[in-house]
Amino acid sequence: MHPWNRPILDSFAARAARLPHALLLHGPRGVGKLALAERMAQLLLCEGQTKPCDACDACRWFRGGNHPDFRRLEPEALAKAPPPDMDDEAPARKTKQPSIEIKVDQVRELAGFLYVRSHRGGSRVALVHPAEDMNENASNALLKGLEEPPAGAIFILVSHRPAQLLPTIRSRCVAIPVPIPARETALEWLSSQKMNDPARWLAYAGGAPLRALEYEERGEVPLAPVNDRDGLEPLADALQKLALDNALLAFGLPPKYQTTTKAPSATAREWLAFARHMGEERLLTRHPLSPRLFSTAMLGAMPKKA
């Protein structure tokens, strides 16, 4: 877990004996929400005197990914170990791209876990990440569990965009915001990770340290058409940041993401409109008919010099 989230975990630990049945950890990408949620789950399952102790059988099982009272729901594309093929005779399954959604079958499988007695006599914990990646059917299936939670079951939902969740799901969870850490704290941590030019990448990440590491590892995103789906969202992200920086410069303000310091080639209104457009396009980048045509259209929509 990351040091800037320690106060949240300490507060959680102090109230662990009287927790609600569902928590919603929300905040921007790159602030360590998932690591915090995993530490919370480990704390709930720990059998040591000081929780989490990192020494008892429960903690060792949790860190090894095989605690019998813990389940994790993620899209196949994010899962640490993709689910095995059920039919070795079906080659089409082996070449199919992993799902980017949490499907209803994954949620339904929780019933056999949540509605039976705990293996260790304690809590049963289900972690859903990212919760907004549940499709409609999966969301409705999870809602049933949240409305009538079984005794001893605790749901921990992690969300980058909680507004995309069903209002009825949000209303049944206790929300825990996970904010961006102080800039000095983030820079100190990034420096400890041997990062080159942490100030620049932290600015590009909007202050989120883990995103800053991702951006540095990936490097600059060329503003050019891409041929695969995985390159679309980074391109939309880069274009949106560029647009917002140009809008700020047009208002006579310093750029937030440090993508440019040049005088903007269009008005602030045009750049803001383009930034909003890129925000809408980012929601569509997972489902393009043609990545190259889609990326070419995004680049073509950029404001032109008068």
CA distance 201 to 257: 8
Assess if residue 201 is contained within a domain: no
Q: Are residues 43 and 151 in the same domain?
A: yes
What's residue 114's pLDDT? Answer: 82
Assess if residue 306 is contained within a domain: no
What's residue 115's pLDDT? Answer: 78
Q: Are residues 150 and 245 in the same domain?
A: no
Q: Are residues 25 and 101 in the same domain?
A: yes
Tokens 């921007």 belong to residue = 28
CA distance 246 to 87: 52
Q: Are residues 171 and 238 in the same domain?
A: no
Q: Are residues 10 and 79 in the same domain?
A: yes
- Of the candidates 190, 197, 79, the residue with the CA atom closest to the CA atom of residue 128: 79
What's residue 305's pLDDT? Answer: 63
Assess if residue 102 is contained within a domain: yes
Q: Are residues 50 and 127 in the same domain?
A: yes
Domain endpoint, select from 177, 211, 229: 177
What's residue 204's pLDDT? Answer: 95
Number of independent structural domains in the chain: 2
Q: Are residues 141 and 269 in the same domain?
A: no
Collapsed DSSP state (helix, strand, coil) of residue 27: coil
CA distance 179 to 200: 20
Listed in sequence order, the DSSP H helices in 51-135 are 57-63, 91-95, 104-108, 111-114
In whole angstroms, how far apart are CA 76 and each of 81, 216, 271?
8, 25, 36
Q: Which domain holds residue 256?
A: 220-300
**Residue-level pLDDT, tens digit, the chain, 306 residues:** 899 999 999 999 988 778 889 999 999 999 999 999 999 999 999 998 888 999 999 999 999 999 999 999 999 888 754 444 434 444 444 456 778 899 999 999 888 888 777 777 678 999 999 999 999 999 999 998 898 888 889 999 999 999 999 999 999 999 999 999 999 999 999 999 999 899 999 999 999 999 999 999 998 899 999 998 889 999 999 999 999 999 999 999 999 999 998 988 899 999 999 999 999 998 888 776 799 999 999 999 999 864
What's residue 122's pLDDT? Answer: 75
What's residue 93's pLDDT? Answer: 46
Q: How many CA atoms lie within 13 A of 123 on its CB side?
A: 25
In whole angstroms, how far apart are CA 167 and each of 131, 164, 172?
13, 9, 9
